[in-house]
Amino acid sequence: MIYAVAVFAPLIGALIAGLLGRAIGDRAAIGASITGMIVAAICGPLACFQLVGGATEPGVVPVATWIDVGHFHAGWALRYDVLSAVMVAMVSFVAMLIHVYSIGYMAHDSYPRYRFFSYLSLFTFSMLMLVTADNLVQLFFGWEGVGLCSYLLIGYWYDRPSACAAAIKAVIVNAIADLPFTVGIALTFMTFGSVEFATIFPAVAAHQADTYRLLGTTFPTLEVIGVLLFIGAMGKSAQLFLHVWLPDAMEGPTPVSALIHAATMVTAGVFLMARMSPLMEYAPFALGMVTVVGASTALVTATIGCVQNDIKRVIAYSTCSQLGYMFVAAGVGAFQASIFHLITHAFFKALLFLSAGSVIHAMSDEQDMRKMGGLWKLIPWTCTVMWIGSLSIAGIPPFAGSYSKDAIVSAAYASGTGVGMYGFVCTVLAAFLTAFYSWRLLFMTFHGKPRADHHAMEHVHESPAVMLVPLVLLAIGAVVAGMALDGMFIGEGWQAFWRGSIFVSANNHVLAAIEQVPAWVEYAPLVVGLAGIALACAMYIVSPLLPHRLATAFPGIYQFLLNKWYFDELYDRIFVQPAFRVAATLWKVGDATLIDGVPNGLAELATDSSRQVVKLQTGNLAVYAFSMLIGVVALVSVFLLFR
């Protein structure tokens, strides 16, 4: 079946490149990896079109019996419904373009390239396993798979301490979130007696009254499960408080950043909320938590992006912010709008990151925007596609981002709840900041006077065709994806399109209410977006000294934002340094003093004692006889005293 081919083709490419790459060489290994991705990029969308068009029916593609122990069963099968098929189509197509782009970007890399392409394909396969999982354990397998691959790719340049530190940070932060996620899976099994979606989803309504006792207090079981699953999603999708790993992940090669931010990993948490919609719909408190955290993330990370100077770091914070939008939609019950923005975001975010990579490639690996400017004449193709990506992320019609972002803002307002209104306010403010930092990036990079030295400007050049063609294709997606999918994803035909793959309860009328919101709500994202663009133009084109004056006039605010709200410093003081002190104590006391010290001390004592005993060996027969006599007297005395 072509659906299974789409899932496993990247794995075959990864195995050939990874296991045989040293023997067959970089060119052949890269060819195998790219071939697997091209096959997946053809089969994935084709399988999606067949399902959506009615040529095939939803179902499950069995692969193997995986875990069968007592009452615990977890098969290995591929879930084939619209939600999974849409994700497979997006992941396979966007990842394929990133693979092709990497041919040019990594052409002069000194590391073995077969290893890099093997990791990329394995990353893609892990994400495909996640989105096609038919049970929570299989989903967790893909979940941990993308985590492993992110570690390998973020730390790909392993001789750079910053890259190694970023890779470790990503693993640790995600592991913190994965612990509640695994507890949530265990509690799901305890409640439903299964981890299979086919068993869990139909039984959710029957377990509404179930309670779970924790810390002396009783909680609704479905709420506890929903919160635990969402905490896992917070880690993977870099939501507030667990977002600190994602900006540091920029230490990896730019194609890795594009793959993590656009097609894999960070979208896993959003997908999890949509997949578990039958359960989340019966957990209103958990959904409220999703909305508040998502809205706060959208706003807070947007403020940080406004002052960053690393071109990739600006785009990284925009990812955190846009993921916040997706969680706001899921939190108010508009799961379809959440996935809609996930799909459009995949196109314009991959476009932005790969365009940034093209700029870095042209500027001889320079990433500081303060050392750029005036590049639009030298790299016009890159400038054009990055403008398209920025127009899309800022929500300017008719670009793709405007359709999905406007739907989320309207859904938050239409929900009619307090947390929904909080989400509406935060997303509108974030829309203003998104437009501002996007055009700040454009103006600082491509326009104004060149700020790089003469030698650097002489070497600026446009990227080769192998890098530009994926950029153009992504730019087309960033233009047309919104128009093409709007009517099916959230319009009048959404029920026929999704075919029950996303659950909507009888009390959930958010998608219908989107059409009834006041006109000012619909136009609010566009108005604030244009205002953000105008402000960026005034500050970086009309009066380029104004940002410096503002930073000087308000140094506290500027440093607060530049240092990312001091999250890293706070975590270092609260968690990292105490952990180091505890580890040092355990090492010095537990390891050096007790574990090593006690045996070593006993051995030394025995050695010293043996030296003293040796002194008794005088060689004098009379002394030996006298010692034996004393011993006999002592033995007889003890016997007479204690008989």
Residue 344 CA to its chain's centroid (Å): 17
Q: Which two tokens stand for residue 224?
A: 């506890």
Cα 270 to Cα 187: distance, rounded to the nearest angstrom: 21
pLDDT of residue 453: 83
C-alpha distances (whole Å) from 559 to each of 171, 175, 211, 573 are: 28, 30, 47, 18
| Continuous segment of H or E residues that includes residue 542 | none
Cα 472 to Cα 491: distance, rounded to the nearest angstrom: 28
Split the chain (643 residues) into runs of 10 and give each run's mean pLDDT.
95 96 95 97 96 92 88 91 97 97 92 94 97 96 96 94 95 96 96 95 94 88 97 96 94 93 92 97 97 98 96 96 97 97 97 95 90 92 97 95 96 96 98 97 93 84 94 97 94 89 92 93 96 96 94 95 95 92 85 77 71 66 75 79 69
pLDDT of residue 591: 78
Q: Which two tokens stand for residue 35?
A: 């071939």
Nearest one of 391, 405, 388 to 337, comparing CA atoms: 405
Omega of the bond leading into 398 within 30 degrees of 0 (cis): yes
Cα 111 to Cα 97: distance, rounded to the nearest angstrom: 22
pLDDT of residue 643: 62
Instruction: Please provide the DSSP assignment of 126-171 as one string.
Output: HHHHHHTBSBHHHHHHHHHHHHHHHHHHHTSSTT-HHHHHHHHHHH
Cα 229 to Cα 204: distance, rounded to the nearest angstrom: 15
Nearest one of 407, 397, 403, 393 to 437, comparing CA atoms: 393
Residues with Cβ within 8 Å of 586's Cβ and at least 6 positions away in sequence, in order, are none
User: What pLDDT digit, counting tens, does each position of 71-83 carry?
Assistant: 888 889 999 999 9
In the block, residue with structure tokens 């090669």: 253
Residues with Cβ within 8 Å of 232's Cβ and at least 6 positions away in sequence, in order, are 143, 177, 178, 180, 181, 182, 184, 269, 272
CB atoms within 10 A of CB 509: 15
pLDDT of residue 609: 65
pLDDT of residue 612: 64
CA-atom Rg of the chain in angstroms: 30
